Structure 1
Amino acid sequence: MRVEYDAVDVTIDGATIVHDVTVSIPSGHFVGIVGPNGSGKSTLLRCLYRALTPSAGTVRVDGVDNLTVSMRLNALQVAAFTQDSPLQFDFTAAEVVATGRLPHGRAFSRDRAHDHLVCREAMLLADAQHLSERSFLSLSGGERQRVLIARAFAQEPKVLVLDEPTNHLDVHHQYAVLSAAKKLGVTVVAALHDLNLAAQYCDQLFVLGAGRLVCSGTPAEVITVDVLRRWFEIGGHIITHPRLGVPQIIFDEKEYR
């Protein structure tokens, strides 16, 4: 499903966090929202999975204003992995993943073969299958992260929202999770801090600065020394990945300072 932000503003407690953002994301594309801390990345994503309502403008999923559909229908279309997923119930990891089936009208049912299959495949994709019977509260930060990503996969969305999905993950699992998301073949909208990972996985990048869209394009168009200096306040040297042909950054703080 395609996703469109049309002149979106978000104001919270009198402060405008997102200013007049307009972007169009084609169906099936993997796009990255990048920018420094406080630039509005998470705020923009929250409007897509309806944790926030824009103060102005419209967010459309497959051409339909997402505020005009029920929360259940929106959850059937859009799944989100978020940075703030508090879960203090002593569920097993498998039970947590099963909550991803709630928008489909069921979870925790022991006679739903299809649901069990979907959840098992989701845990395999997120490399969390071996955690199935563990208490969620006993898991490390990275293990919890993989279980919550599996829950989003189990939702079987048409649009997957990932808000800093590689936080707490070791290098192997950073690549594994993004590869799994890409293989789903759905529209993926991800806020990412790691620009090298973003360049390897994203079809398109949108750079936010102080709540505004400041540039966008393919990784090769966006990842430039000028963008690094102006919006990330750091220098760097751009090289080309020898296999993928995408830009990669060797950061050099002294080169800028």
Structure 2
Amino acid sequence: MSDKPYPETYYAGAYWGPRKESPEACAQRAADFLNLLAPADPFLAHWYKPAKSQKDARKHPLMPPDLTTLTELFRRGVNREKGGPVFADLGFTFWFDNGGPTGDCAALRIKCGDYCGTSPNSCVLKLPWRGPNADRVLTATVLVHAMRSMALAWEPDWALATSSAYENEYPEPDSAPFSLGWVTYLSHRFGRVPPLPAPVRIEPVDDKGMLIVLTPERFTMTNADHVMLARRVRELLARAGLMPSVIPK
């Protein structure tokens, strides 16, 4: 057995409550998101349709976004029992990636149009964890851009870019879907973000909500100061009523 530690991995995700939307509406939001995300870094500017192999996928790029193609992908991702009826209230799901090898790949999983309320709609971006792409992408600058793109395109209730190691060490209870990340977005509908201790930065996202950036450098579980800061900020947000136990309908 190897004693080499596992790398600290990261992802970004946006989440919102019940929202009835057509495949066409979901496709438009997805196109808006991909266009907004692309300037963040060249690594996040190319995506491919789902395929059996990387070679096949590269024959079918999703950039620039084509609404007809995206609409069809959402239609195919409708929830149904095998050979049975469609569950329209569960919305549409599909996932795709940018064609890189394991560890040096970005992937997107999107669930849109769910209005039954049993689980949130979401846009989850899995980030690379090794190589020069990870070194460039896992920065506050790129992740703030990604969070802002998610907030503008999907209009979520909340979003975060976080370390999976931190999330595993400090999980929220099942009844509380909201949690804090290295970068966190909160919709204005939940209230006003209170003053937070340095080096935390707070940025508005148009008239939709606020971004909270814990540290300018990469947030890691191995840095005790980062962990202590995250727990303090989470406490202050909870005290201000900004870590609600449910996503409102």
Give the TM-score range, shorter chain: 0.3 to 0.5
Which TM-score applies when normalising by structure 1? 0.31
Greater strand proportion? 1
